[in-house]
């Protein structure tokens, strides 16, 4: 049940747990997105940060890719290799740098958010302004920004080289899904429709080839998502 951004999810989980929900377990799921490890590690109780940049990334797990490839009569290893090749071609130059920059900006945002508090507010506006200016100077952002760019460049480079779960946690899922869909000759929406239909096992007839696809994709998704209800 989508309910907005991560703050909305955290608020919804807190509220539902407080009032109680009969015959249901309340679990919040949020994407890793560009948030830092520190931020993702301090979310509201009852909320799980997916080990994925965003939920669409889950369909680009190597096992899910293999299952789709087999269903379409293609060699899984060839599809996976082509997928990685296309990802590495897509994330070059400005596209690569944009990913690095967005990760750095997120970290800078965390620093700025933690730099100020009510103690910085004084009855005198000049003192208030000086307090804020001093806090910014103490952050040492110019030098730290350069260091963060170097750190995130290495992180993104390593994830791109590894091409597995680390890539799924750092690279935008919608972009990856679009690339995967293109490799197998689908539009992204058509590919997700196929997978979602395969996962709806109760609606499929016996011996439907989608049954096998659903079982294999479901097994892959179990590595990332909470246990599926029966």
Kindly list the domain boundaries of the chain, sorted by start residue: 1-49
Integer Cα distance of 79 and 142 in angstroms: 43
**pLDDT given at position 230:** 58
Torsion angle in degrees (nearest 10) through CA of 155, 89, 62, 37: 20
Residues 72, 114: Cα–Cα separation, whole Å: 50
Are the beta carbons of 53 and 172 closer than 8 angstroms? yes
pLDDT < 70 stretches in the chain = 229-230
Burial grade of 159 (CB within 10 A; 0-12, 13-18, 19 or more): buried
The predicted pLDDT at position 191 comes to 96
Neighbouring residues of 133: CB distance < 8 A, sequence distance ≥ 6: none
pLDDT reported for residue 180? 97
Query: What's the pLDDT score for residue 19?
Result: 87
| Residues 19, 37: Cα–Cα separation, whole Å | 30
3-class secondary-structure state, position 29: strand
In what helix (H) or strand (E) does residue 47 lie, and over which residues does it extend? Answer: strand 47-49
């Amino acid at each position: 049940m989508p309910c907005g951004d991560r703050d909305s999810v955290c608020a919804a989980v807190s509220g539902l747990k407080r009032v109680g929900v009969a015959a249901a377990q309340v679990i919040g799921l949020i994407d890793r997105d560009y948030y830092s490890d520190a931020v993702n590690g301090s979310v509201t109780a009852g909320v799980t940060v997916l080990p994925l940049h965003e939920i669409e990334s889950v369909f680009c797990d190597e096992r899910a890719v293999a299952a789709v490839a087999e269903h379409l009569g293609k060699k899984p290893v060839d599809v996976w290799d082509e997928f990685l090749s296309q990802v590495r071609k897509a994330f070059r130059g400005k596209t690569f740098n944009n990913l690095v920059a967005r990760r750095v900006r997120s970290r800078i945002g965390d620093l700025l958010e933690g730099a100020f508090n009510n103690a910085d507010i004084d009855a005198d506006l000049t003192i208030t302004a000086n307090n804020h200016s001093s806090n910014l100077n103490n952050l040492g952002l110019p030098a730290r920004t350069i260091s963060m760019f170097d750190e995130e460049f290495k992180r993104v480079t390593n994830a791109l080289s590894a091409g597995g779960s680390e890539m799924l946690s750092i690279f935008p899922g919608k972009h990856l899904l679009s690339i995967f869909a293109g490799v197998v000759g689908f539009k992204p929406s058509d590919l997700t429709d196929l997978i979602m239909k395969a996962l709806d096992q109760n609606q499929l007839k016996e011996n439907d080839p989608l049954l096998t696809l659903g079982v294999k994709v479901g097994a892959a998704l179990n590595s990332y998502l909470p246990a599926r209800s029966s």
